[in-house]
Amino acid sequence: MIGLFHSSSHRSGISKRGKPWSKVDVILSDGISSIECVFWDQKKSLRYPVNSLVYVMGYIKRGWRGSATLDLLEIERLNKFDHLNKKLS
């Protein structure tokens, strides 16, 4: 899926069973609506510019309060096509 990057934040802690966890919450948009994504076992938040194009791969899962979230397996920022250097006339 391709979307627009909006924001990301990092959280970590220790579960009730004593296992450490960390995740990055990512908010993506398709231009009209937004979706919350979770990227588990990450050490720091993503520092992409707002509204940059990103490619994400993952699966849809039920979220904290019933809304759909996307569990990310992969996220990659797409280039801004600077290598084309073509002028539009």
Q: What would the pLDDT profile of 3-50 be if each residue is shown by its tens digit?
A: 999 999 999 999 999 999 999 999 999 888 889 999 999 989 998 888
The answer to whether position 87 is within a domain reads: no
Looking at the structure of the chain, the number of domains it has is 1
Containing domain of residue 55, as a range? Answer: 2-14+21-77
pLDDT of residue 81: 56
Neighbours of 35 (CB within 10 A): 19
The answer to whether position 89 is within a domain reads: no
Q: What is the CATH number of the domain that holds 67?
A: 2.40.50.140
The answer to whether position 72 is within a domain reads: yes
The answer to whether position 47 is within a domain reads: yes
Residue 84 has pLDDT above 90, yes or no: no
Nearest-CA neighbor of 52 among 17, 23, 76, 19? 76
Pairing of strands 68-77, 20-29: unpaired
**Is the backbone of residue 81 left (phi > 0), alpha (psi -120 to 50) or beta?**
left
pLDDT of residue 89: 42
The answer to whether position 6 is within a domain reads: yes
The answer to whether position 64 is within a domain reads: yes
The answer to whether position 88 is within a domain reads: no
Residue 87 has pLDDT above 90, yes or no: no
Nearest-CA neighbor of 21 among 3, 4, 46, 40? 40
Instruction: Read off the pLDDT of residues 46-65 as tens digits, 9 standing for 90 and up.
Output: 988 888 899 999 999 887 77
Longest dimension (CA), the chain: 63
